[in-house]
Structure 1
Amino acid sequence: MTSIEGIITTIERHSRNAGRYLIFVDGQYAFTVFEDVLIRHRLFKGETIDPGKMQLVLEDEERQKAWSDALKQVGRRPRSEKELRQYLKRRGYLPPLIDTIIGKLKEQNYIDDASFAAQWTEQRIYSQKKGRQLIKQELKMKGVAPATIQTTLDQVPPEEEERLAYELGHKKWKATSGTTMDKKRKTAAFLMRRGYSSRITGNVIRRLADTYRDEADDSDAEDMFDWPET
Structure 2
Amino acid sequence: MHESESVISAVERHSKKNGLYLIFIDGAYAFTVHEDVLIKHRLLKGERVDPDRLRAALEDEELQKAWSDALRQVGRRPRSEKEVRQYLKRRTYEPPIVDRVVTRLKEHKYLDDADFAAQWTEQRIYSQKKGRRWVKQELQQKGVAPATIQEALDQVPVDEEERLAFELGQKKWKLTSGGILDKKRKTAAFLMRRGYSSAIVSKAVRRIAELAPDERRGEDEDPDMWDWPDA
Consecutive unaligned residues in structure 2, runs of 5 or more = none
Shift of 1:162: 1.0
Q: Secondary structure at the match of 1:192?
A: helix
| CA RMSD between the two structures | 1.9
2:163 maps to 1:163: yes
Give the deviation of 1:213 after TM superposition: 4.9
- 1 CA distance for matches of 2:211 and 2:122? 29
Once the two structures are overlaid, the 10-residue window that deviates more, 33-42 or 99-108, is: 99-108
Query: What is the match of residue 97 of structure 1?
Result: 97
Question: Quick one: structure 1 residues 4 and 167, their matched pair in 2 at CA, closer, same or farther if it must change by over 3 Å?
Answer: farther
| Matched residue SS, 2:162 | helix
Does the Cα contact within 8 Å between 1:4 and 1:54 map onto a contact in 2? no
Matching residue of 1:175: 175
- Name the % identity: 67
TM (normalized to structure 1)? Answer: 0.91
Q: Distance in 2 between matches of 1:151 and 1:4?
A: 58
Cα drift, residue 34 of structure 1 = 0.7
Change (3 A) 1:194 1:4: farther
C-alpha distance in 2, partners of 1:29/1:180? Answer: 77
Deviations 1:29-85 (A, max 9, x none): 110111100111111222223322111110111111111111111111111111111
Report if the CA contact (8 A) 1:7-1:26 is conserved. Answer: yes
- Distance of 1:174 and 1:122 partners within structure 2: 27
1:77-156 matches, within 5 Å, as 77-156=77-156
Deviation sequence 1:191-220 (CA, Å, 0-9, x none): 1011000011111101111111522255xx
SS at 1:214 equivalent: coil
Distance (Å, rounded) in 1 between the aligned partners of 2:22 and 2:9: 11
Report the alpha carbon displacement of residue 168 of structure 1 after superposing the two structures with TM: 1.1
Q: Matches of 1:16 and 1:119 in 2, distance apart?
A: 37
Letter in 1 for 2:136: K
The one-character-per-residue Cα deviations of 1:60-116 (angstroms, maximum 9, x if unpaired) are 111111111111111111111111111111111122221222112112211111111
How far is 1:16 from its partner? 3.4
Which 10-residue stretch deviates more, 38-47 or 188-197?
38-47
- TM-superposed deviation, 1:13: 2.3
Superposition pairs of residues 53-68 of structure 1, within 5 angstroms = 53-68=53-68
* Amino acid in the other structure paired with 2:137: Q
| Aligned mates of 1:208, 1:54 — CA distance in 2 | 71
AA at the equivalent of 1:124: R
1:75 match: 75
**C-alpha displacement at 1:179, in angstroms?**
1.8
- 1:162 and 1:200 in contact (8 A); partners too: yes
What is the aligned partner in structure 2 of residue 224 from structure 1? 222
Counterpart contact for 1:166–1:204, Cα < 8 Å: yes
Q: 1:5 Cα deviation (Å)?
A: 5.3
Structure 1 counterpart SS, 2:214: helix
What are the superposed Cα offsets for residues 169-205 of structure 1, whole Å, 9 maximum, x if unpaired?
Answer: 1111111122222211111111101100001111110
Q: Which runs of 5+ in 1 are unaligned?
A: none
Deviation at 1:122, TM superposition (A): 0.4
TM-score by length of 2: 0.90
Question: What is the Cα deviation at residue 18 of structure 1?
Answer: 2.3
